[in-house]
Amino acid sequence: MAGAVVIMLPLPVIQGLQVLTIAVAAPGVTGMIATVEARLQGRRGPRILQPYFDLWKSFGKESLAPAGVGPFFLAAPVISFACYLTVPMLIPVLTSYALPLGEMGDILGGGFILALASFVVAVAAAETGGVYAQLGASRSKTFAAITRPVASS
């Protein structure tokens, strides 16, 4: 194309856009998967945008913490979310070239960071001292250990 203008963005801007895109698009992908899965099972299923509505509703709710928990319990969701947003800074998803922080880790490092997020949530559940919270965290980690290797192969 003659006269085409190519705009080159700095790598940190591209990396920031990648993290932002992943954070904004992730609920949509989850909604799409749930809808397709329901249709394959012969059900109507949720709307594609349902995860966005659920997030909006969750952010409007009051934060509650069990009595006697420490500051780690309150920090666990923030730490976990930070772990999830760190992975797109290491592994190129939207670009085909290396990212500025890409040399700090690879797909294995990304897996470790995702495992750290899961571990933080399990430790926060254990900190509550409640049997059902610990049971739920244990169940979640067990299913993750069973399904993640199958999903990645």
For residue 50, the model assigns a pLDDT of: 96
Quickly list DSSP for 3-26.
T---PPPPHHHHHHHHHHHHHHHH
Low-confidence ranges of the chain (pLDDT < 70): 1-6, 97, 100, 143-153
For residue 153, the model assigns a pLDDT of: 42
Cα gap 90→56, rounded to integer Å: 28
Inter-CA distances, 16 with 12, 43, 99, 113, 121, Å: 6, 38, 10, 18, 26
Share of the chain above pLDDT 70, in %: 87
Q: Are 114 and 86 in contact (CB under 8 A)?
A: no
